[in-house]
Chain A
Amino acid sequence: MGILSTSRMKSPWLLHFDCGSCNGCDIEILAALTPLYDIERFGIVNMGNPKHADVLLVTGPANHRNYRVLRNLYQQMRDPKGVIVVGTCGCTGGVFHNCPNVLGGIDKVIPVDVYVPGCAARPEAIIDAVVLALGKLKAYGK
């Protein structure tokens, strides 16, 4: 494994976008930043800027109100990049399935690499999903 893939594995910067979630999953994502889980020990940092981020973490169902924002954020992220959907709503639409204002899962708008089911998803599952998404970053360019 080259030094570049090692570095990619060791420094995934997250971008967190709430696509209309109930904040349950967002609280679990933030829980991963606390001293109990401390994801910074894996080099994972929560970034606010899509241009700096490697992994997009989306919560909540895709809806007509903000799917353009989601697509815009995804397009602003530079390759190599991965997308993780956190929570049942983001995976399929969840309890909002078939609502008139809801498109469904996030994969209706942007390509998704890892799905984390759960209502809400546990922080351990979210950390696990980031590790899975790293597999895509590692394989980039090969």
Chain B
Amino acid sequence: MSLMNTLARAEAVAAGRAVPAATVRHRHLAERPLVLVPLTTAGEAGAPLGAMVGTDRDAPVLLVVPQPLDRELRFGFFAGLAAAVLPLMAAYEDDVEVEPATRNREESEVCADAPQIVVPNSAALEYVRLLGRSTRFLRTVEDPDAPHPVPVPVPLLGRWLTHYGERARTPGSALLVAMTELLTRHWATGQSSMEDQHLGALLGWIDPPPGLDGAVAAERAQTDRAPDGLLLSPPAGPATDPLFDNRVLAPAMARYDAARTDGADAAEVAAAEADVRRLVGSQLRPTWDDVWHGLDLLRALPEGARVADRWKRDRWSFTGHRDRLRAGEPPQPKRDGAVAAAQKLAGRETAQARVSAQEALDDPLTMAVRRLAGEAFAGEVTGVEMTYSEGRRPMPRPLLTVRTPDLPQAEPGTKAYRAVPGAKSAQSAEIVSVAPEVRSDGTPYDGGPAAHLVVVRLTGGMGSGRVPKEGSVPEAGARVDFTLFEHDPRGGPGLPEPEQTPWTHGGPPDAGVPPGTPPPADAPDPVTAEDYL
């Protein structure tokens, strides 16, 4: 945790409510996001208990599995989830924009917008991945040999959920986001980051009910129980409160099982099922409302200037998956090959560098963190000395002296960058020297210097003439901001073609396989007689 964050948390304790950790919103928010609150059955991987899903906060779709160990009922749940998610995907697939050709890319189309899925917390986000993994290999009723076929759209749902889950690992992406992560990015609470994982408690700090202190509101959300012993603010899932399981849900499921084995009376089964539905719904609804509450809070923040750029990359990601589905590619493999994994990692590293730079440029509070870390500095130009590069055509290389309260951690020769209003890219520069400010007689100030004098040499962004372009060199007295990180970082050199990949990294494709042949698709999970799943 950064010192800035520690300070903010201390301020939140003193203020009795959360304080800002950002001045702008750093993630795209869709106008109509799909909110998904999943619940799982304790101890059973891939056995969902229920979910609340939808784009209308007043009309969520409630999906409940009255007996999670029953395969058919689980498949019914997956079909219901597919019915809630897939039409949304389809609605965005055909609304495209044409992206003009660039030097490296042909003219192509990109979806004008993409559906956004919001889940309550990081555990729910992982659960979306798990749902994707458990459904994308299932065999459908179209497969005559399938022992336990699922409705047709289920594997497609699995592939979309897998794609969304995978994309969520790209820093700064917003196709699938966890509400706790969004909120902790924008507010600092007076509790630990571990406690921030509880959505109800987090909201208690950020927006306590009138008359309540943040700490009290958070504690209420964490521990207050109704007279029947159940938590007033149930866990945001996917795990349920054990007390709820033991005291309420298990007996209700037992009644449902009994009604079914007794057979005959359909009304009795329906009543027992309705009972389980009501119980599961009661655990889901508070979280559902919390997620929408969080969305309201985030919408009140102005969107960062570079958020749209990152969302466009999400739209590309959505379009890319649409194209892979349309091309009839097999489901995503269970494990990435070495080449695919290397590509993903490289992409994520670039995305991390990009989002760090963009967030700092969009938000003075984030820039303050970088300045404190010595990765950026701001100050006043106290002197400009015009020098020129050597060579046949001397170019302007003005030396700026900047008086800054910051202490940039930079050796002479380190590259620096400055955002110039109206310019397309950052102005490049290099650090010449960093020295503590001294008195006019040359003696140091008592108790350490109040400021540092940084000499930077501007090396670009001044046009191609001998005289710098107007406005490209700041004058004495101007306030300037420099960063020691690139503003628009690009990835490293490209990875070699598959044919050139050394054996240590997955190797070139087998000689016997014609180039371009996709790797064999993963087999569906085996179904054994004894497992319920």
Q: Note whether A and B form a binding pair.
A: no
What is A's interface to B at a CB cutoff of 8 Å?
Answer: none
What is B's interface to A at a CB cutoff of 8 Å?
Answer: none
